[in-house]
Structure 1
Amino acid sequence: MSASELDVLEANAAFYRAFASGDADAMGSVWSEQHPVACIHPGWDVLDGRDRVLESWRGILESDNAPEVSCSVAEAHVLGDVAFVTCHEVIEEGGRLAATNVFVREDGTWRMVHHQATPIAPGQARSLPRRGPAN
């Protein structure tokens, strides 16, 4: 696994740490400040723009019903200064979502520009071969 792939996976992990801790400020630091951003939460329409995206995350993270989510089977794909991660979001109450997180290199740091998650139909969950450090 390349150093860039590891860096992207760390940026992805920072996103899920912010989610798990309910830390809206940490969530804000994950997202790009210099590039257009968008987000599609499960069952939601497209949210465009940093303000709308972060407002949605603040609402989710500050909710009494915020889901407990962790990331598994993450795999990074680096395309120069753009990268994407495909992974599963494991919901503590049960179920998995397939997610794609897109990152750009911004002042030397990988920052998120897009997140989309969708439910996985029963029997469709994938697993990844072990290629390096634990996902």
Structure 2
Amino acid sequence: MTAGTEVEQVELANTTFYDAMEHGDFEALSGLWLDGDDESVSCVHPGWPVLTGRAEVLRSYALIMANTEYIQFFLTDVVVSVWADTAVVTCTENILSGGPAEENGDLGPLVGQLVVATNVFRRTSEGWKIWSHHGSPVLAETDEEPDDETPA
């Protein structure tokens, strides 16, 4: 297997993770995480404490999917690094999500959010599986010019 092929496989696993979230496909999402009694599986959703263990992590995604009417991810700044049986993907999640449904059944207001994420994968006999996901909200503007004024 060449490094390029490994990178492509990890990119596909990462994209599949976000596709499963967008489609609310809990079964597909569950199949992407390391299986078994591996308590080293972890997840940090923006603003949440660290979740440890496959069951706790998957329960969090079930709750998110049950309470999110619409979500779409536009990934930017994607960087994939592979070392032996471990891969790290860093990216910016440009998230568009729908608020609660209106009384007439229409989708509520759309909300945008930026989250920087690190997804760590492990190679298994079944392909690349998610070992850890960490998402942090982007709170600072990075494209702004520094303010040259000094306080008086």
TM interval, short-chain normalised: 0.7 to 0.9
User: TM-score, normalised on structure 2?
Assistant: 0.76
Aligned pair count reads 125
User: TM-score, normalised on structure 1?
Assistant: 0.85
Q: Which amino acid aligns with 2:115?
A: L
Q: 5+ unaligned residues in a row in structure 2: which ranges? A: 97-110, 144-152
Match of 1:130 in 2: none
Match of 1:43 in 2: 47
1:1-135 aligned within 5 A:
2-34=4-36, 35=38, 36-64=40-68, 67-92=71-96, 93-124=111-142
Instruction: Measure how far apart 1:75 and its partner are.
Output: 1.2
Displaced runs of 4 or more, over 2 A: 64-73, 121-125
Q: What RMSD, in angstroms, separates the aligned Cα atoms of the two structures? A: 1.7
Instruction: Measure how far apart 1:108 and its partner are.
Output: 4.7
Q: Distance in 1 between matches of 2:70 and 2:122?
A: 27
Q: Distance in 1 between matches of 2:50 and 2:142?
A: 24
Q: 5+ unaligned residues in a row in structure 1: which ranges? A: 126-135
Change (3 A) 1:112 1:123: same
The structure with more radius of gyration: 2
1 or 2 for the larger relative contact order (CA 8 Å, sep ≥6)? 1
Q: Distance in 2 between matches of 1:50 and 1:73?
A: 27
**CA distances 1:78-115 after superposition (whole Å, capped 9, x unpaired):** 01100010001111122311000000001150000100
Identity, % of aligned pairs?
34
